[in-house]
Amino acid sequence: MKIAKEIAIIMGITLISEYLNKAVPLPIPAGVYGMVILLVCLVAGAVKLESIETSGNKLVELMPIMFIPAGVGLINYVAEIRQYLVPLVAVTVVSTVVVMGVTGRTAEFILKKRKREK
Amino acid sequence: MLEILSGSAYFGFFISLFCFFTGVFIQKKTGLRIMNPLMLSIIMVIAILQLSGIDYKAYNQGAQIISYFLTPATICLAIPLYKQLRLLKDNALAILVSIVFGTVTSIGSIFLMSKLFGMDHTFYASLLPKSITTAIGMGISEELGGIVTITVAVIIITGILGNVISDLVFKLFRISNPIAKGLALGTSAHAIGTARAMELGEIEGAMSGLSIAVAGIVTVILAPMAANWIG
């Protein structure tokens, strides 16, 4: 029964988030609203960590599987992908590597500097 | 028989899970990071659909049940974030600056590459939101005059790529701090990158989950300004 209760809480927050996503005229997805709502609820003590943790952690753990349908959906875009194949691959590979590198390096740099100051 | 099987709502659900665990098995056997279960399972499902002639609609009838859990799972990224709240508060500035830097780099690099390839505004606008989560990215692409289908394709490819090559990039750029790794994964490869960050550890996962939200919102603000650079 504990799991059912946990899922009920998570689904309740999901429902509110979906409503906000539709009602607020901003391109912010339901997941982002929900993340903020749940974090605020946890900090405020309105939701106890123990009352969502088991199912919540399982959901996060299973996340890679949830991207399979979207990935398979790429077959619907074969025409577009083929048409722009070279620039698409080039931009995607270069920009992803560079963004990952720059973000990580920036964080490393600032964190190391702060450590030294301390 | 094939028709009856593929007609069942459980077909897409089962085949997705089956291919994923086959992928997990292959990765374990080969010991190669590049043999990413998510990437392998997508390739396997596509191959099965192509070979059997079952169309995407029939597959997705069952598979969409899996997709339904994506929003609640994203919401639950607040759990690792809550557990790492101290870390977040202590390093708030470093975290924010890194994500903003990463997002500016994303827009800048896409602009330069688009210029290099002589792309038109439509294609450029379709690529601009490539590193952020699909739900935000689609909205931005549409608003800026991009082709939403290309945006969705590029966002998913970016996520899988980021998930697969992160180990190599971390080595190449000598990124070892768990906070830095998480921020790098989330900012460059949104939720699919975060799935990898969660595997690395709780700090990585928390930082990556946070990056999805922050990078998404920063892109909402910056992309419309950058969109006019290629008219």
B92-121 pLDDT, tens digit per residue, is 999 999 999 999 999 999 999 999 999 899
- Residue range of the domain that includes A14: 1-66
Do A42 and B78 lie within an 8 Å CB cutoff? Answer: yes
CB B128 within 8 A of CB B141: yes
What residues contact residue B36 under an 8 Å CB cut-off, 6+ apart?
B23, B27, B160, B163, B164
Note the pLDDT of residue A36: 93
Residues 6+ apart with CB under 8 A from B114: A87, A91, B123, B124, B127, B230
- Residue finishing a domain among A51, A66, A81: A66
Which residue of A55, A77, A91 is in closest CB contact with B110? A91
> Domain check: are A33 and A76 in the same one?
no
The reply to whether A24 touches chain B by the CB within 8 Å rule is no
Q: Looking at the structure, tell me whether residues A102 and A49 fall in a common domain.
A: no
B24 interface with A at CB cutoff 8 Å: no
Which of A66, A81, A104 is the last residue in one of the domains? Answer: A66
Shared domain for A48 and A92, answered yes or no, is: no
Give the B window 28-57 contacts with A, CB below 8 Å: 37-39, 41-42, 45-46, 49-50, 56
Quick: pLDDT tens for B115-138.
999 989 999 999 999 999 887 888
Together in a domain, A4 and A62: yes
Residue B1 distance to chain A (closest CA, Å)? 23
> Would you say residue B7 has pLDDT above 80?
no
Structural domain ending residue among the three candidates A66, A83, A98: A66
B50 — pLDDT class (breaks 50, 70, 90):
very high
What is the rounded distance in angstroms from the CA atom of residue A104 to the CA atom of residue B84? 18
Same domain, A72 and A89: yes
The answer, yes or no, to whether residue A109 has pLDDT greater than 80, is yes
Domain boundaries, chain B: 2-68, 78-227
The mean pLDDT value for A39-53 works out to 95
Shared-domain flag, residues A82 and A72 = yes
The secondary structure of B67-132 as a DSSP string is: HTTHHHHHHTTHHHHHHTHHHHHHTHHHHHHHHHHHHHHHHHHHHHHHHHTT--HHHHHHHTTTTS
Question: Quick one: which of B222, B200, B18 has its CA closest to B110?
Answer: B222
